[in-house]
């Protein structure tokens, strides 16, 4: 366990050994949340990582006619998504 102080501006220094272990560098962004009375920090993916994450999201082209109907053969997962069901 490592003890750190909070500065007058509310800043906390993440110890070097933890930064090294997590490969944290200047400019990295952290999401800070409160969970059951504990402060939790998690690194946000860098822009390059976001591009990789987004590229893995499957896309279906859904054409909806004037009556609100769509072709299930062209978008087989749309019905599940529309109703919040898992595939």
Please state the domain count of the chain: 2
pLDDT recorded at residue 87: 53
Claim to verify: residue 25 and residue 62 sit in the same structural domain:
no
Q: Is the pLDDT of residue 68 over 90?
A: no
Domain ranges, residue 10: 1-44
Between CA 87 and CA 84 the distance in angstroms is 9
Confirm whether pTM is higher than 0.85: no
Claim to verify: residue 30 and residue 3 sit in the same structural domain:
yes
Claim to verify: residue 69 and residue 31 sit in the same structural domain:
no
Claim to verify: residue 70 and residue 38 sit in the same structural domain:
no
- The neighbouring-strand residues paired with 30 are 43
pLDDT recorded at residue 13: 95
CA atoms within 13 A on the CB side of 26: 0
Is residue 51 in some structural domain?
A: no
């Amino acid at each position: 366990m490592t003890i750190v102080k909070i500065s007058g501006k509310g800043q906390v220094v993440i110890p070097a050994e933890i930064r090294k272990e997590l490969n944290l560098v200047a400019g990295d962004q952290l999401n800070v949340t409160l969970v059951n009375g504990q402060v939790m920090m998690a690194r946000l993916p860098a822009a390059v990582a976001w591009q990789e994450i987004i590229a893995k999201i499957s896309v279906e082209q859904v054409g909806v006619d004037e009556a609100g109907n769509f072709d299930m053969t062209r978008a087989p997962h749309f019905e599940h998504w529309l109703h919040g069901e898992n595939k």
